[in-house]
Chain A
Amino acid sequence: MVDSQKFDYVGVLSRHIRLQPAKKKEIIREIEGHLEDKASDLADRGVRTEAAKRLALQQMGDPVALARQIQEVHTSVGLKEMGLAVIPHFLIAGLVAFGLCDSILAVAAALALIGGVTWLNWRHSNPSIWSYPWLGFTLAAPAIFLLMLVIGPDKSVHTVLAGNGYPVSMSLILLFSGYIAVALWVMVRVVYQVVGHDWLLVAFSGIPIPLLTAWVLVAQWLDPSWQTPLALPGLPGALWILVFFSIAAITAAFLKFGRRHVKVGHLLISTAIAVTVAYSILLLNYHLVPVRLAIAGLMAIMLAPVLKKPLSSSLRVLHNVLQTTIHLMGR
């Protein structure tokens, strides 16, 4: 009976601590050790075993409150981490400010830097919280290339590469195709891993994606020939710089807020505004299916923290079905 209470206690802790699996396991092991020591100590002082275990649980206090405090400690950040988290936004704003968006070298260098920092953080599957915006930009790059592919057959990547400033060669096209394939594989793995412990971080990483996709759609709408693919045709650069500064501010505020429900609320409101503003102009002037699909997909990502339970249940069912299918196929 008491052991099942301990099991329940640890279960509640486990559900409410949303950290990397290794870190979470370590914290729970530490608290379990404390409960064992306490119960054993009380038993040594003459308290009956069952009562000792119950007292140990009582004195540790409410598991939800304990999990919330631990969560806040491990997800709170200082000024240094906030600064590191907003660097990629300023980097993209810098590309816009200096008119380097149509320079393949500058874009490639920025992508390499962002991808490199992301890889350094994720190679041991123990990323710092500030690295999630970097991850978002890393994942946004292949998403944008894919978007370019689906916009239309005559607006394919080949056409994009044929635009001004982009040298056309079959090897470059193959390189981009390889990049998209590898990036997709990495994207699926990383998203699956992040979803496994916290949907909120997926939504946090995805903050820049609505604006970057809107950027591409606006660029395509205003300049269908892709002569200057990402050079912000028709829109003042200062506006885009302001946009990237705004998402840097959203990112910093997300990191600064301690309470989880405040983070969720902040993310939902700010990204809903961002998506609405970025796409309203497109919806009015540009009735493309990809625009509608992009809006639906982005809103689903942003709403995911709220819909976490039904989503995770569905994913678990899907996972079980896949496992059973693979097992049956193997027989």
Chain B
Amino acid sequence: MSQQEMLKGNTETLLLSLLLLEPMYGYQIVKEINSRSSGYFDFKEGTLYPALHRMEREGLIEGRWQNTPGGMRRRYYYITLKGRFVLSDRQAEWQRFSRAMNSVIARSSVQPEG
């Protein structure tokens, strides 16, 4: 599975995790994902807004227009109570998945030849 496919399946979890830390606007989210993953996640910027709007319609986040510290008007996204519950479920599922994955991968890791 490519990195883009894995990212696509986990976009909501990533966005909710970030917004749990603090409310952010679109470009700030892209920068944060890039910075926290040390550039590993190459987030396609055009896919961010459909994802944010879908999550807002599902009641997971809420957008509000506010001024940035620099005085620009931007739409900040806040995680809702429903979003917190969903994130909690996703995190627990991710923990179970990664533990199971690691335990299988660790026992069958490929040794480089030579």
* Interface status of B26 (Cβ within 8 A of chain A): yes
- Whether B46 contacts A61 by the Cβ 8 Å rule is yes
> Please, which residues of chain A bring their CB within 8 A of the CB of B73?
29, 33
* Interface status of B36 (Cβ within 8 A of chain A): no
Q: How far is the CA of A279 from the CA of B54 in the complex (A)?
A: 42
* Interface status of B69 (Cβ within 8 A of chain A): no
- Whether B49 contacts A66 by the Cβ 8 Å rule is yes
> Please, which residues of chain A bring their CB within 8 A of the CB of B44?
59, 61
Report the minimal beta-carbon distance from B85 to chain A, rounded to whole angstroms.
Answer: 18
Selected from A30, A61, A74, the residue in CB contact (under 8 A) with B75 is A30
> Please, which residues of chain A bring their CB within 8 A of the CB of B26?
30, 33-34
* Interface status of A50 (Cβ within 8 A of chain B): no
B interface secondary structure, majority? helix
Cβ < 8 Å to A, chain B residues 35-87: 44-47, 49-50, 53-54, 57, 72-75
- Whether A70 contacts B49 by the Cβ 8 Å rule is yes
> Please, which residues of chain B bring their CB within 8 A of the CB of A72?
50
Q: How far is the CA of A74 from the CA of B55 in the complex (A)?
A: 11
Report the minimal beta-carbon distance from A249 to chain B, rounded to whole angstroms.
Answer: 24
* Interface status of A281 (Cβ within 8 A of chain B): no
Report the minimal beta-carbon distance from A65 to chain B, rounded to whole angstroms.
Answer: 7
* Interface status of A289 (Cβ within 8 A of chain B): no
* Interface status of B94 (Cβ within 8 A of chain A): no
Q: How far is the CA of A59 from the CA of B48 in the complex (A)?
A: 11
Cβ < 8 Å to B, chain A residues 13-40: 26-27, 29-31, 33-34, 36-38
* Range, interface on chain B: 10 to 19
Q: How far is the CA of A174 from the CA of B31 in the complex (A)?
A: 65
Please, how many residues of chain A have a CB less than 8 angstroms from a CB on the other chain?
23
- Whether B57 contacts A33 by the Cβ 8 Å rule is no
Selected from A27, A33, A73, the residue in CB contact (under 8 A) with B74 is A33
Q: How far is the CA of A44 from the CA of B44 in the complex (A)?
A: 21
* Interface status of A62 (Cβ within 8 A of chain B): yes
- Whether B54 contacts A73 by the Cβ 8 Å rule is yes
Cβ < 8 Å to B, chain A residues 64-92: 65-66, 69-70, 72-74, 76
Q: How far is the CA of A66 from the CA of B48 in the complex (A)?
A: 10
> Please, which residues of chain B bring their CB within 8 A of the CB of A33?
25-27, 72-75
- Whether A66 contacts B50 by the Cβ 8 Å rule is yes
- Whether B25 contacts A73 by the Cβ 8 Å rule is no
- Whether A69 contacts B25 by the Cβ 8 Å rule is no
Report the minimal beta-carbon distance from A71 to chain B, rounded to whole angstroms.
Answer: 9
> Please, which residues of chain B bring their CB within 8 A of the CB of A38?
27, 45
- Whether B57 contacts A37 by the Cβ 8 Å rule is no
- Whether A65 contacts B46 by the Cβ 8 Å rule is yes
Q: B-contacting residues of A (Cβ < 8 Å)?
A: 26-27, 29-31, 33-34, 36-38, 41, 59-62, 65-66, 69-70, 72-74, 76
Nearest first, the 8 closest Cβ-Cβ pairs linking A and B are: A61-B46, A69-B50, A37-B27, A66-B46, A73-B53, A73-B54, A34-B26, A34-B27
A30-B75, A33-B73, A72-B50 known, 5 other contacts, Cβ within 8 Å: A34-B49, A37-B74, A38-B45, A69-B50, A70-B53
8 A-B pairs within 8 Å (CB atoms) are namely A27-B49, A41-B27, A59-B46, A66-B49, A69-B46, A70-B49, A70-B53, A73-B53
